[in-house]
């Protein structure tokens, strides 16, 4: 059993090495082969001889030289050898095609219309990004999607795959981790530029990474759908948030509204109504949800 008090009290030890030093280790075919060999069975550590049998290097001295170079960064050596977290990330990045693939998917027509202008919604892919957007006003979601994953889905499956991928990116962000570097992210409601005090532009939830400067921005409605009470409202009304981008579910609601309660600091209220029920979610300046209310709608 883990004693949480001892974890809190203990100092965190991190040994830092320069990225140049660490990544220069990978500029060698044998070392890449060694990482791939360990990546074939990521949950199993291998002995020296088992690992060498998977790598096409007959000279044990040469093999050992390259293996030792990777130990401490991409490989952990106990009695046996296994990938470190960084090693797993390198293998994952190679499989996802981040470094090696480039692809384009022509627009796929989706089964709902733009909530802003009624235009046709499409899913497409270029520049290593998925675009779920309106063909008329151009509004929508743009987000990175690993090119190496495109070939794992039929064209008809891709829109839902894009939506599921986006949902886990947002989930990770709301949980407080950067989707790029896993650094800490903190959220805040940020008003979109333009508008007036009387008629402000809507606010977005903005999460910025303290480490890499990356992050994500998404609407208050998207943020709200990750609250368990809101998620179950959609689920119980057969409005599936994973079947497509969340705006597909919103387009099927009887009523969907985003209201600015205050502008400085901003506070928002989302309203979702369907099948005789209304749900409201209040979003605070730090992009957290304070209250969710669900009630029967007067008719
Ligand atoms: Zn539109
Ligand atoms: Zn980051």
Domains of the chain: 15-96 (1.10.10.10)
Report the separation in Å between the CA atom of 189 and the middle of ligand 1, taken as the mean of its atom positions: 23
| Alpha carbons 138 and 233: distance in angstroms, whole number | 29
- Residue 219: which H helix or E strand, with range? strand 215-219
Return phi, psi of residue 182, to 5°.
Answer: 65, 10
Flag whether pLDDT at 97 surpasses 80.
no
Torsion of CA 8, 9, 10, 11, to 10 degrees: 90
Ligand closest to Cα of 177 equals 2
| Alpha carbons 206 and 266: distance in angstroms, whole number | 12
Report the separation in Å between the CA atom of 140 and the middle of ligand 1, taken as the mean of its atom positions: 8
> 295 is written with which tokens?
């009630």
220 close to 268: Cβ distance less than 8 angstroms: yes
Report the separation in Å between the CA atom of 220 and the middle of ligand 1, taken as the mean of its atom positions: 18
Report the separation in Å between the CA atom of 210 and the middle of ligand 2, taken as the mean of its atom positions: 7
Report the separation in Å between the CA atom of 278 and the middle of ligand 2, taken as the mean of its atom positions: 37
Report the separation in Å between the CA atom of 103 and the middle of ligand 1, taken as the mean of its atom positions: 26
pLDDT band at 1; cut points 50, 70, 90: very low
Select the more confidently predicted residue: 85 or 12. Answer: 85
Ligand closest to Cα of 114 equals 1
Note the pLDDT tens digit of each residue in 110-120: 999 999 999 99
Report the separation in Å between the CA atom of 111 and the middle of ligand 2, taken as the mean of its atom positions: 34
Ligand closest to Cα of 210 equals 2
pLDDT band at 65; cut points 50, 70, 90: very high
Provide the whole-model pTM. 0.80
Contacts of 86 (CB under 8 A, 6+ apart): 22, 73, 74
């Amino acid at each position: 059993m883990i004693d949480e008090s001892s974890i809190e009290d203990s100092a965190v030890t991190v040994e830092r090495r320069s990225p140049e030093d660490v990544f220069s280790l990978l500029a060698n075919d044998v070392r890449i082969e060694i990482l791939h060999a360990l990546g074939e069975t990521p949950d199993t550590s291998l002995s020296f001889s088992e690992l060498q049998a998977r790598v096409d290097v007959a000279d044990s001295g040469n093999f050992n030289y390259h293996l030792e170079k990777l130990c401490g960064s991409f490989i952990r050596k106990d009695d046996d050898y296994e990938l470190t977290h960084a090693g797993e990330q390198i293998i994952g990045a190679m499989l996802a095609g981040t470094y090696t693939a480039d692809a384009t998917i022509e627009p796929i027509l989706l089964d709902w219309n733009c909530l802003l202008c009624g235009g046709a919604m499409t899913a497409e892919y270029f520049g290593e990004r998925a675009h779920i957007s309106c063909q008329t006003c151009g509004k929508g979601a743009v987000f990175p999607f690993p090119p190496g994953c495109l070939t794992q889905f039929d064209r008809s499956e891709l829109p839902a795959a894009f939506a599921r991928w986006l949902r886990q990116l947002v989930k990770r962000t709301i949980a407080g981790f950067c989707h790029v570097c896993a650094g800490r992210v903190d959220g805040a409601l940020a008003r979109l530029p333009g508008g007036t005090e009387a008629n402000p532009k809507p606010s977005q939830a903005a999460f910025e990474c303290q480490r890499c400067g990356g992050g994500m921005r998404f609407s208050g409605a998207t943020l709200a759908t990750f609250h368990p009470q809101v998620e179950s409202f959609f689920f119980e009304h057969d409005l599936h948030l994973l079947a497509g981008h969340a705006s597909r579910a919103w387009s099927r609601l009887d009523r969907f509204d985003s209201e600015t309660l205050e502008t400085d600091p901003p506070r928002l209220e989302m309203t979702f109504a369907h099948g005789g029920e209304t749900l409201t979610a209040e979003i605070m300046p730090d992009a957290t949800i304070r209250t969710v209310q669900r009630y029967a709608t007067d008719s």
